[in-house]
A and B are shown apart, each in its own frame.
Chain A
Amino acid sequence: MAADAAEPVASGPETRPARRRGGVLGARLGWTGLSLLGFGLVWATLAALIGSDELPGPVAVWEALLVQIRTDGYLGHLGATLARVAAAFGLAMVLGSALGLALGRSAALDRAFGGWLTLFLNLPALVTIILCYVWFGLTEAAALAAVAVNKIPNVAATLREGARALSRDLDEMAEVHRLSRLDRLRHVVLPQLAPFFAVAARNGLALVWKIVLVVELLGRPNGVGFQLHSYFQLFDVATILAYAFGFILVVQAIELLILEPWERRATRWRR
C-alpha cells in the first residue's frame, strides 16, 4: 500500500548482529592473545635477568601449578572458592535487588533507610569480615554473610537507581491495556531493569572475588585465599602465582562465556 512505499521497511538489520558478534569476539580474542604473549615474553626475560626465586619465570610457575594439581588439591581449592563466590554473589544479588527496588519505589523507605545504605557502602570490607567472624565464629555461614554484606549495598544502590528510572509512560500503557502483574513484570519492568542488573552483576562479581579471598585467608581451612596464605608463609612465589593465574582464568571465562553473551542478548533490541 501507499504508506509502505513512503516508509520502506528496513531490511537486513535482523541478520547483522549475529555476523558482527562472531567477528568481534574472534578479533578480540586474537588481539588479546597477542597482547598476552607479549606479556609472557617480558615476564620471562625479566625473570631470566633477575634469576631469583622471588620472581619465577612462566615455566617455573607452570611446574608449580602441575605440582599443586597432583599433590595439594589445586582444583579442590579453586572449586571451594568458586562455590563461595557463587553462593555469596547469589545471596547478595537477590537481597540487594529486593532492597534496592523497595528503596527506589518508596520515598518513605528511602528516607528511612537511605542513610543506612550510605553507611554500609562506606564500611570497610575488612571490618565486616572481622565482625562476622567475631560474632558468628569461624564458620562457612559467617564467611558467606561477610562477603554478602559487603556486596549488598552496591547492588541495592544500583537497583535503586533502576527502580527510580522506571518509565511512568510504560506503566500507564500497561495499565490501559490491563496487562497482568506477571506480564508487567516480564515485559515492562524487568527489561527496564536488565541494564542495572548487568552493572550490579559485573561490579559485584569483581568485588566478591576479591573479598572471598580475604575471607578465606582470615578464617577458612581451604580455598585459594587459604592456599595463598600458606604459601606466603613459605615464601613460595611460584605457587602463589600459579593460584593467581588459575583465578584469572576462571574470572575471564565467566566474563566471556556468561556475562557478555547475556548482556548482548538483553540489549539486542537497541539500534
Chain B
Amino acid sequence: MSGGLSVAIREKRFAGGPPVLGEIAFDLAPGERAALIGPSGIGKSTLIGMIAGLDRDFEGEIRTPPGRVAMVFQTPRLLPWRTLAENVAIVCGDPRRARALLGEVGLADAAHLHPERVSLGMQRRAALARALAVDPVAILLDEPLVSLDPASAEAMRGLLDAAFERTGALGLIATHDRREALVLADRVLEFGGRPARLVSDRRSPLSRAERRERGAVEALHADWFGA
C-alpha cells in the first residue's frame, strides 16, 4: 500500500523474556483513523513505540508513510523547565507558529506558563500542539484521554477530531477504553492473547458525524462488545 502505514510483525520480545507480540499485520490507508484496543499491559504501547521508531528491536517490518510521524505519549512528556510556548517552539523552530498551534488547541492564554502550573488536560493539549508542529502525515496517540475529567476529555476529543480534519493525517490511537475507540476511530483493531495478536479488525459503521452522538456509540458498543 502506498502512502499509508503498513505493519507486518512476526515477533517482538524484550531481552530474554517471552514474546510480547505475536504475528500482527495490518495496513492503514492515508487519512484513516484506527483505534487499537485491548486490556492494559497487552502491548499496545509497545507497538506504538515500534511504529514511532523508538524500538527497532523486533522481527518483521513496519513501513511508515513518507513524511513525519508524530507521537503523543500517554504522559505529556513536556519539558518542565520550558514554557508551553517554548516546548512547542523547540520542535517547530518558530515561536510565532508555536503560539498559533497553542491557539489551535485553546491554550493561547497559557502559552507563557510552565507545564507544572497547568492542569493535565492542558498539558495533553500542549503535547498535541507539539505533535502537530512537525506537520505529521501520521499521528500516533497513546491513551490520549486517560485520567482526564469528562469535560477535559470531551474538549480533547474535539481537538483531536479538528487536528485530524485539518492535517488529513492518518491516526493510530491506542486505548483500553472501547467507547473511546468507537468515538474516535473509523476502524477498530483489537489485541488479545499472549503473545498479543489481532483478534478482530472491524470497520465502524458510524460516520464521523454520527460518532459524536452518544446514543449511536452506545448502540454500536452493545452490538460489538455486548452489554
Binding site for B on A (CB under 8 A): 1-4, 6-7, 9-10, 13-14, 169-170, 172-173, 175-179, 183, 187-188, 191, 269-271
Contact pick for A172, options B54, B80, B90, B116, CB 8 Å: B54
Set of chain A residues within 8 Å of B206, measured between Cβ atoms? none
Q: Which of B77, B116, B122, B133 has the most chain A CB within a 10 Å cutoff? A: B77
In the complex, the answer to whether B117 meets A191 with C-beta atoms within 8 Å is: no
Query: Does B106 sit within 8 A of A, measured CB to CB?
Result: yes
Give the distance in Å from the alpha carbon of A191 to the alpha carbon of B110 in the complex.
22
Give the distance in Å from the alpha carbon of A237 to the alpha carbon of B119 in the complex.
61
Give the distance in Å from the alpha carbon of A188 to the alpha carbon of B68 in the complex.
21
In the complex, the answer to whether A187 meets B82 with C-beta atoms within 8 Å is: yes
In the complex, the answer to whether A1 meets B73 with C-beta atoms within 8 Å is: no
Q: How far is the CB of A168 from chain B (nearest CB, A)?
A: 10
Set of chain B residues within 8 Å of A178, measured between Cβ atoms? 68, 134
In the complex, the answer to whether B106 meets A177 with C-beta atoms within 8 Å is: no
In the complex, the answer to whether B119 meets A14 with C-beta atoms within 8 Å is: no
Query: Does B91 sit within 8 A of A, measured CB to CB?
Result: yes
Q: Which 8 A-B pairs have the closest CB atoms?
A: A3-B155, A6-B151, A173-B77, A191-B81, A269-B114, A269-B81, A271-B116, A176-B71
In the complex, the answer to whether A3 meets B116 with C-beta atoms within 8 Å is: no
Minimal Cβ-Cβ distance residue in A for B69: A176
In the complex, the answer to whether B121 meets A175 with C-beta atoms within 8 Å is: no
Contact string, B38-57, partner A, CB cutoff 8 A, digits 1/0?
00000000000100111000
Query: Does B85 sit within 8 A of A, measured CB to CB?
Result: no
Query: Does B112 sit within 8 A of A, measured CB to CB?
Result: yes
Beyond the given A9-B118, A14-B113, A177-B133, could you list 6 further A-B residue pairs with CB under 8 A, ordered by the A residue number?
A1-B155, A3-B152, A6-B155, A172-B77, A270-B80, A271-B117
Q: How far is the CB of A7 from chain B (nearest CB, A)?
A: 5
In the complex, the answer to whether B152 meets A6 with C-beta atoms within 8 Å is: yes
Set of chain B residues within 8 Å of A187, measured between Cβ atoms? 79, 82, 86, 90
Set of chain B residues within 8 Å of A10, measured between Cβ atoms? 113, 117-118
Given A10-B117, A177-B130, A187-B82, A4-B77 contact (CB < 8 Å): no
In the complex, the answer to whether B73 meets A169 with C-beta atoms within 8 Å is: yes
In the complex, the answer to whether B116 meets A176 with C-beta atoms within 8 Å is: no
Give B187-225 interface residues, CB cut-off 8 Å to A: none
Contact pick for B134, options A177, A188, A269, CB 8 Å: A177
In the complex, the answer to whether A7 meets B152 with C-beta atoms within 8 Å is: yes
In the complex, the answer to whether B90 meets A179 with C-beta atoms within 8 Å is: yes
Contact pick for A269, options B80, B110, B133, CB 8 Å: B80
